[in-house]
Structure formats: structure tokens, C-alpha cells
Chains A and B, each alone.
Chain A
Amino acid sequence: MMLIPCPHCGPRAQSEFIYERTVDSVVPLDATSQEAMAKLFTRNNPRGVDDEIWRHTYGCRAWMVLSRHRVTNEISECRAIGPEALP
């Protein structure tokens, strides 16, 4: 079980979080239908670091983007998103 550094709550056990999707699978609202299908069905599967969207569901409930190495589970960054992270 990983230890995830929630940007709002600090390090917390993985069991408090839910993995949602990779950042590259997000379909922008203005995507064409080809772009949407490419995002949904032909995604990257890197052997290395990937950006993933997680939610601290059983904690602060905030969404965040985690840079995780998919072989070693090393987490290099966990950044806040949402209204709180707007400039």
C-alpha cells in the first residue's frame, strides 16, 4: 500500500484514495469525436513515470495529479488541482 503525499492533508495511506484515470485520458470539453476516441481508447501505457488523477475520497475529497513510476511506485510529485490551485 503506497503512501501518497496529499497536497492538502500530508502523507496518507493509499486506502484513503481512489485512482480515477491517467491525465492523458482526460477528454477536453471541446474535443472532436476522433480526439475523444483517441483519448479514451488508445492511451499510453508507459514503463516509467505517468501522471495520474487520484482523489482523496476518504479524506479531504480533493482531486490531485500524481506523478508515479509505474514499475517502482515511486511518487515524484503530487500536485493540487481544482479551484484551490488556480492562479
Chain B
Amino acid sequence: MINFSFDGKAYTAQVGDTLAAALLRNGIGLVGRSFKYHRPRGIMTAGVEEPNALVTVGEGGRAEPNTRATDVFVYEGLVARSQNRWPNLSFDIGSVLGLAAPALSAGFYYKTFFGSAKKWMFYEYFIRKAAGLGNAPTQADPDRFSHRAAFCDVLVVGAGPAGMQAALEAAESGKRVILVEQDNILGASLIRDPQELDAAWIEATAARIRAAGGRILTRTTASGYWEHDLVTLTQRLSEPGQTPDNGVAQRLWHVRAGQVILASGSIERPMAFAHNDRPGVMLSQALRSYVRRFGVVPGKRVVIATNNDDAYKTAQAMKDAGAQIVAVLDARPAPAGANSGHRVYNNAIPLSTKGARHCLKNVSASVDGQTLEWDADLLAVSGGFTPVVHLHMQAGGTLDWNADAQAFVPASSRQNVTTIGGAAEPQPIFKMASAAKPKKSFIDFQNDVTLADVDLAWAEGYRSVEHLKRYTTLGMATDQGKLSNMAALGRLAEKQGVAIPEAGLTTFRPPYTPVTMGLLAGAGAKDAGAHVRRLALYDLHAAKNPIWQPLGYWFRPRAYPTGGETLAQAALREAKAVRNNVGITDVSTLAKFEVSGPDAAAFLEIICATTVSKLAVGRGRYTFMLREDGFVFDDGTVWRLDENRYLLTSSTGGADRMATHISYVRQYLCPHLRVSAVNVQEHYAGIAIAGPTAKAVLTTLIGEEPPRHMSTVPAVIAGVPVIILAASYSGERAFEIYITASDAATVWAACEAEVMKVGGALYGLEAMEFLRIEKGHLVVGGEVDGRMTPHDLALDKMLNKAGGFIGASGLARPALAEAGRRQLVGLEALDGDIPEGSMLIPSEGASPQGHVSAGAFRIIEGGSVALGQLVDGFSRHGEILIASSPTRGQKARVRVVAPHFYDPAGERYRD
């Protein structure tokens, strides 16, 4: 005995019950309300195709809305709630919508959308309140979801008799086999029809498959079939809402199979007749499952309607269970069913049902043209069988029409997949006349689509099945039309006067059954959503408790506030230290490439748009790179360390794409060059020391005269070999020191001690930003925004006159030399502070002529300055404009100037 609750009331279930079986066992027939009309609905199936019995299972972050009651096994303490009803299930105010059904016919949403906006605004409130399924939980899911990859020779989907036999043969012939079954026990149709093969056969076969090395996964659904025989499996390790034993609720498998065998069986079809959605109407095979598998007999007086032989097994099962078979309505002419021993009516088509208090009371049918009625509390229907061809179709397969079964069956496939069993050979059926009352004859139970809606769509000109689907929402519910698609196709074909295969088919998209979002994210959720790259010196910085700044995947210190400083105060103090004395900062994240070999210079002159080969050994220069279309892509410095060995640096943010670019040029464009290009970004840590006293500090550190500006030397600091590059981003005399990352802490400690000894400071990214803006240096992602050419950034004088670099041909486009392009300018505030990202306008209300890419303060003198991009900006120095940010409500009057606010002649970094 297991305790569970439904809508707050306590019930008990038997071990092995699905929630649906447990509800029926407790006499609960009404379990939900339909999506649109709020019609009362009961349990219709015993499988994943269930359209009606959708409930929310579990509580808090574990709550799982829209769970099919037929696809959750009851566990101790299960909490289930019905959905889409208010104030409660048996009295639902929304059901008055059902009375207004004519106003909510097919295409209602489209018609309202295309009507006046006012009308939509009026309806929206009510629609949002009334329509819908369960509510998504608002708390985070406490459970984990895992991913696993697997390989096999044969993947068998479906553990019915055909699937188990196929898995057994493959396993015993030495193949690696995986057998998956979405149920929690094996056997599929054998569970409800154990006559042919019994439970002992299932057990023995499973044991033999395992003994031969096969893997059997139950509670596992093959949810998608992808390219090259990759099948995704979704495995439930715990039931919806249940606390998992080891914290992992579900597992997503990626299985690459040599061969896939689909033994996915078929889904029974309902029949279309008036009020066929009433609780108490159930599919015939489902009823048999409840009786034979769960021992639940959900009615005493049953009418069975069928167009095939299979339903007679249900009649037998009900009779064995002691129920009364009121009538078997067989659509086929006599003598079908004559020997069954039941009261059989031939040429019998169900017409309608009547009920009271959400229970079935009466069934009427047309028998040989006469209307007959029976009192009954249960109606089992079998309208035929639809093979489960979803995976076959996802694999790029085609279908054949099986006229005997009135069903599509798998034909060819371009992947290595075969279909066996009931999915390949569905049982024959009799083609019935269509329903007499299309208005209340539901075909899509979850989305409340009736035959009349299909007729209306047709009348309004929707001919294609894809249009029909979108107009009526048929097949678009969480069951994805498993029960409804064939009925709709049949109706459409009837309207068109063609056979069903000519009416077309909608696409079978994965997943086969709904998949929890968390399962797709797997372990990559929450904190693991993006990885974090740590500086070699991370711990040293962390000890100083800086403000961190994310930069790509990196985190770098933005500033090191002391004594309650704000970010701006700290950054200004740090920047002043660099301007007046000396500062030290970590520049390890810069992209770095070591390029060596006889053709290294030639290679670099393809990557870089400047010359490289003219550099003497021990010298370096500023350089930049173009995209193939001629726009600036990145910038950095290039250093000749040795005769045939260069170090190239470029921006942090562009490091990964630059690595890819260099690799592409090396391998694809220039495989003939004798050159090696190695990404050494994380091999070297970098420390910059900048300021008027930097040279003195470095002299002490290396015990010799440091290199002059744009020169490089190898040296030793604190016993560690280093490379020193004399380059300046701040505008002061400055040095970058590169060290093997594992030795960086030793060198940093020595450098920091020396800087502090002379009264210097650590500085972070914010101070660096102040310094470079004042100096007019570019930043990739700021001024270099992918829309600027070398001319626009005033870099054209540095272009390699010989050409031959990437982007040279793109840059030669005449359009890039025309007037009217945005060009780099400096901006000085006349009043207020210049808002970053603001637009540049000549007067209030005028169209923008440019924008501000970076704003800062003059470090020593004070006052707001900025870099910007302005139409024809080079020739507009001296103009007064407005930098306006309407979104921030900030503006400042600015004067256009050259983009160098500090030491324009570059005297401070030369000796």
C-alpha cells in the first residue's frame, strides 16, 4: 500500500500503479479540464499518448506540471494536483467557456490578432487567465540532471515481444546491444495480453540478453533520432516530483548506434462521435491494461465500440473481471464478432454519449441505420492503430500507406534503421463512415479541436495540412497529435476527395515525449553555465580584495579600493600614481602568439596590416589586423625576439578568435610557409610597470639599464628568466614583463615590493581605461567596433604599402574611401560629464552624427573627456556638439578635438 494525494485528499495505491491506475482504483474518473473549453475530462489511455489526464506532480522546485497521470508511477507521498480549473475540478467557472464554444472556434486567435488591437487587448486578459496548462514552478529545481554518451552495435527501441526477440538475437550473436523501454517493466503488449508469451518468457529473455552483455534500460524513452544514427534517450531515475536517491533525477543519453531497430508498437486511435470526450470513454487497449496489469476495473456496465478484432480481447478481459458487456458495437458487417459470445451489433457506429455529474450514463449508436441506446458507465473504443513512426521519420525516412490498417507504415530510410513488430505491421481495420455530429466530435482532446473545426478551416481556405494544423492548433499540444493526427488527415482527405496519403503529412519533430529543460542543460546549469578562467596571479589579487571585472571568461581586478574608497575614487588614485610616480598591474590575459621559422616575418605580414620584416632583432612595434572585408579586426604589438622568432600580442577579448584566425591562415591559406605559430596566451603571465619612475624601478629589478621604448630584452628578476617589452599603453614610460606562468608569483612579489618601496600603487582595469582614453589609445570592442577601417581610425599611414595582408583587397573597395564615414575624434566637455554610449547631435532633435565610445576624466587636470566616432570627424575639430543619452537622461556640450588629450608628441615614454 502506498499513500498519495490528489487535490489535497489522501488516497492509497498498490505497488506498481501508475497515478492513472491509482486514481481509477479510487473511483476518480474526472481528473482534468480541457485547454480551451474547460470540458471535464477523464483518463483515456494507459500510455504516454494521454491527452487528458495532465496533472502537476510534486512540490516546490520539484513540481512537474503537465505530467501525464498515465506516465508516472505512484511512490510514497506523491502529491498530485489537477490543472486548468478554478475554484476546483468538479465546479470550474472556466467551463462556461464551453457554452461559448461557437465564439472560440478554429482560428479564433488569428482572427482576433488580425482584428483591432483594442479587441485583442480586451480578450487577452481573459484568455491568459483561462487558457493554459499547469504552472511552471517558480523555485529552482533542487535536483541534478546528468548526460552520458554510449555506443552500441544495435539499439532496440521498445521491449515488446518483437523488440525483446530482436535484442536477444543481436546480443547472442555477439553484438553490443542496448534495449530501451519507456515503461518501468518489460513486455509492452505482453503485459496486457499474456496469452501468447507470458511473464516467465519476459524474465528469461531479459536474463539471456543481460547474460550476453546487453544493457536494458527501463523508464527510458528514445526521444530523438538525429544524424548518423545518434539517438537521444531520456532516462528517469526518479519519478516526477520524487526526491532522487542519489540526487540525479534524470539522465540524457547520447547513443551512437551501428544499427537501430524500432519496435515501438502502435497507438490505438479513438473514434469521432458526439461527446466522445466524456469521462468514462476510454481506449480499448488502455481499458485492458487497467484490468489485466493493474487489476482495476473502472466500470460495471461497458459498451465496446470497434472496427477491428482487437477490442474483443478487451471484452473478454472485462468479462473475466466480472463486468457486464452491455454491447459490442462492431462497425464491420456481420459475421464479424459472431463467435465471441458477446452481444454484438454489426454495422454499428457510435453517435453520442450522455452523462451526469461527470460520469457516463448512456451510449447511443446507429445500427443498420437505426438509433439504439444503452445505459453504460464505461465505453471502450478502438478506432484502429497508428504505428509509432516518429523515430523512423526523424531519421529521414519515408512512409508507405497500408490500406488494410488505414495507417502509414515505415518504408525506406537513409539511415541504418529498421522497424519491426506492430509498428511495421499494424492490425487491419474496417474503414468507418464519418461522424454524424462533427461539432462535439473531438479529435484533438488536449487542444479541443473538433471535426467541425477541421471543416471550418477547410471552408476558410486552408488546404495544406500544415496550415490546417496551425490554424486549428491540432496536434500542437503536449501530446503532439499522437491520437489526433490521423483523424484530422482522414477528414481533410475526405474534404479534398482524395486518399489519405495524398492529403500530406506534418513533420515528426523530436522529442517524442516532453523533455524537462533541466535535462537538456545537464551539468552545464547554474554556476557551471559558463566556465571561469583564472589568472596565474589570481590568489595574490584576491588577497587584496579587489573589485573584479569579468572580461570574456576571465576575471581581472578592476580596482583595488582601500579605506572605503568608491570604484571611481580608487581608480583615480591608481591612475594618478601612474601619472606621477609608478604603478603595477596584471596584463596576463593579453593574447600572445609565438611565431617562429624562416617564413615567420612573411607569415606575420599576412596576418598584420603593418610591416613586420623591417623590425631589427630586439625591436617591436604597434600593429593591427584586418578582416577580409577590410575592417579593423584587432590590434596589438609585434616583437622580434630573435632572427626568426617573433612574439605577437593582441587584445584579451579577441584572443580566442585571433587564435582561430592565425590557425586558419597557417593551415588553410599558407600551408607552404615554413613557420610555427603557437598560442602562448596562458604560458606567459604578464606584469606591466608604468610611470615616470618605472625605469628606475626596473633598473633596480634587473640590475641593468632597461630597454628603450619599443625594444625588448631577456632579463632575470628574482632569479627567474623574463622577457621585457618596453611598450606603453598608459602614455608613460612603461614595461611589460612576461614570465612563465608557474613562476609569476615570485616575479610579481619582487616587482610589487620595488614599486611600493618608491611609493607607487597597484592599478586595475578602470585606471587603465582612464589612462588610455586620455592618451587616445584604442580598445578592441570600443573604438575598434568592427565598423571602422584603418582610415577611420587614422591608422592608414601605418598600412603596409606592399599590400599582401588579409583585408588588403577588401579595403581597396572604393566605397570605403568615400566621404561621410564615421571617424575617430576626441571630445572635451564644456559642461557636465560626457555620458558613455551617448549620441552626438549638432542640436536638440537633430539626427545623430556619431557616438561616444569611451568616456573618462583627465587624471591630473580634471574635466570630462571622451573618444567618439563622428561623421567626417577629422575635418570637424573645433565644432561644438551635444553628447546626448536620452535613455539615461544625461547630456553634455562637447568640443570636437584630436583624440590625444595627454602628451600628444609622445615625449613622456621616450628617454
Contact = CB atoms under 8 A, between A and B. Distances in A.
Interface stretch (B9-17, B588-596, B662-670, B825-833): B662-670
A18 B664 CA distance: 12
Nearest to A63: B667
Contacts of A81: 667-668, 671
B531 interface: no
B228 A73 contact: yes
Nearest to B228: A3
A31 B809 CA distance: 6
Contact of A72 (B414, B628, B671, B806): B414
Given A3-B230, A40-B628, A29 B668 contact: no
B334 to A, nearest CB: 51
B813 interface: yes
Given A1-B230, A3-B256, A27 B809 contact: yes
A27 B804 CA distance: 12
A2 B227 contact: yes
B813 A62 contact: no
B664 A63 contact: yes
B396 interface: yes
A33 interface: yes
Nearest to B806: A29
A44 B647 CA distance: 38
B667 A62 contact: yes
Contact of A26 (B666, B669, B811, B812): B669
Contacts of A74: 414
Given A63-B668, A82-B667, A82-B671, A1 B813 contact: no
Nearest to A69: B414
Nearest to B810: A36
Contacts of A20: 660, 664
A7 B176 CA distance: 26
A55 B813 CA distance: 30
A2 B671 contact: no
Contacts of B666: 82
Contacts of A57: 660
Given A29-B669, A85-B671, A2 B663 contact: no
A3 B230 CA distance: 8
Interface string A8-45: 00000110001010000011010111011101100000
B192 to A, nearest CB: 36
Contacts of A62: 667
A32 B809 contact: yes
Nearest to B226: A1
A37 B810 contact: yes
Interface in B806-860: 806, 809-813
B663 A61 contact: yes
A6 interface: no
B515 to A, nearest CB: 16
A26 B668 contact: yes
B628 A33 contact: no
Interface string B627-655: 01100000000000000000000000000
B254 interface: yes
B672 interface: yes
Interface in B242-300: 254, 256
B228 A2 contact: yes
B673 to A, nearest CB: 9
B227 A3 contact: yes
Interface string B601-643: 0000010000000000000000000001100000000000000
A11 B226 CA distance: 16
B365 to A, nearest CB: 49
A52 to B, nearest CB: 12
Given A29-B669, A36-B628, A40-B628, A55 B227 contact: no
Interface in A59-73: 61-63, 72-73
A13 B256 CA distance: 9
Contacts of A39: 628
B668 A1 contact: no
A35 B809 contact: yes
B101 to A, nearest CB: 43
Contacts of A2: 227-228
B133 to A, nearest CB: 30
B688 to A, nearest CB: 30
B425 to A, nearest CB: 27
B629 A40 contact: yes
A32 B628 CA distance: 12
A62 B667 CA distance: 8
A83 interface: yes
Contacts of B806: 27, 29
Given A3-B227, A27-B628, A37 B813 contact: yes
16 contacts: A1-B230, A1-B254, A13-B230, A13-B256, A20-B660, A31-B809, A33-B809, A33-B813, A39-B628, A40-B810, A63-B664, A63-B668, A81-B667, A82-B666, A83-B671, A86-B671
Interface of B: 149, 226-230, 254, 256, 396, 414, 606, 628-629, 660, 663-664, 666-669, 671-672, 804, 806, 809-813
A-B pairs with lowest CB-CB distance, top 4: A82-B667, A3-B228, A36-B809, A33-B812
Given A1-B227, A3-B229, A85-B671, 17 more contacts: A1-B226, A1-B230, A1-B254, A2-B227, A3-B227, A13-B254, A20-B664, A27-B806, A29-B606, A37-B629, A39-B628, A40-B810, A53-B668, A55-B660, A55-B663, A57-B660, A86-B672
